[in-house]
Amino acid sequence: MAEFVYPPVIRTALTAFKALDLRISIVGAEHVPATGGAVLVSNHISYLDFIFAGFGAYRVARRKTRFMAKDDVFRHKISGPLMRGMKHIPVDRTDGQPAYEAAVKALREGEVVGVFPEATISRSFMLKKFKTGAARMAADSGTPLLPVILWGTQQLWTKGHPKTLTKRHVPVTIMIGEPIHLTEADRPVMVTRRLRAAMSEMLDRAQREYPAKPAGPDDAWWVPAHLGGTAPTLEQAEAEDEAEATARAERRAAR
């Protein structure tokens, strides 16, 4: 079936990458399956991650990734038509079953479905706890998990910092790991642990091999605390997330 929205969006993204002279490096390109369904699982450090995670699969094997995203994005007057046109999958956080079923159906039909198992952006830029949905989807559809790690995208636009979409020459690492094929004996919780462990190793490598350093103390916010940066620790970030969630719930209750 012809697609009229995804191709021009990809071309627009490629033009922007070129104009900003982003130094994109794709590692592990050979792991992207040329055909068949796969659950692309990515870390989440930026509002732009779906673009770069999808770009890795597209650049290597021309695979178009259908990302699962909160339904708020689909209700927006600009992003909504684009998201629907690219056949991304809306997720209602109060009832995720329809989205889950749509994702499994797409996987069985040979699509690549993108998932952020941390659910929200990590303020610490380290891996948060993973939800088991990706592993369950892979098991129910009989497709592999494809781990992807992004690094550098947080410099462009992330939670708690002003967006700098015109920043030039930013290195962006897209690291693709070996697919994880499930067996009937595998359990989602154990598979999720394996997946997170593999992605943790990939993230550590991406961070340590990253070719750029902060321009100075004021620019160290995008570097994790354990590497000498001023990003919050994982524990501090979790506390900030909890405070934000509480405030959001109080605002809803006050309406």
Look at residue 231 and tell me if it is in a domain.
Answer: no
CATH number at residue 62: 3.40.1130.10
Look at residue 1 and tell me if it is in a domain.
Answer: no
The pLDDT, as a whole number, for residue 1 is: 58
109 residue type, one letter: E
Q: Is the separation of the CB atoms in 182 and 109 below 8 Å?
A: no
Look at residue 38 and tell me if it is in a domain.
Answer: yes
Look at residue 252 and tell me if it is in a domain.
Answer: no
Look at residue 99 and tell me if it is in a domain.
Answer: yes
Instruction: Give the pTM.
Output: 0.95
Can you read off the two tokens belonging to residue 120? 């929200």
Look at residue 226 and tell me if it is in a domain.
Answer: no
Look at residue 254 and tell me if it is in a domain.
Answer: no
**H/E/C letters for each residue in the chain?**
CCCCCHHHHHHHHHHHHHHHCCEEEEECHHHCCCCCCEEEEECCCCCCHHHHHHHHHHHHHCCCEEEEEEHHHHHCCCHHHHHHHCCCEEEECCECHHHHHHHHHHHHCCCEEEECCCCCCCCCCCCCCCCCHHHHHHHHHCCCEEEEEEECHHHCCCCCCCCCCCCCCCEEEEEECCCECCCCCCCHHHHHHHHHHHHHHHHHHHHHHCCCCCCCHHHHHHCCHHHCCCCCCHHHHHHHHHHHHHHHHHHHHHC
The pLDDT, as a whole number, for residue 13 is: 92
Contacts of 169 (CB under 8 A, 6+ apart): 20, 21, 22, 23
Q: Count of domains in the chain? A: 1
pLDDT tens per residue, the chain (255 residues)?
568 899 999 999 999 999 999 999 999 999 999 999 999 999 999 999 999 999 999 999 999 999 999 999 999 998 999 999 999 999 998 899 999 999 999 999 999 999 999 999 999 999 999 999 999 999 999 999 999 999 999 999 999 999 999 999 999 999 999 999 999 899 999 999 999 999 999 999 999 999 999 999 999 999 999 999 999 999 999 999 999 999 988 998 998
The pLDDT, as a whole number, for residue 252 is: 85
Q: Is the separation of the CB atoms in 163 and 156 below 8 Å?
A: yes
Look at residue 193 and tell me if it is in a domain.
Answer: yes
Domain housing 52: 6-218
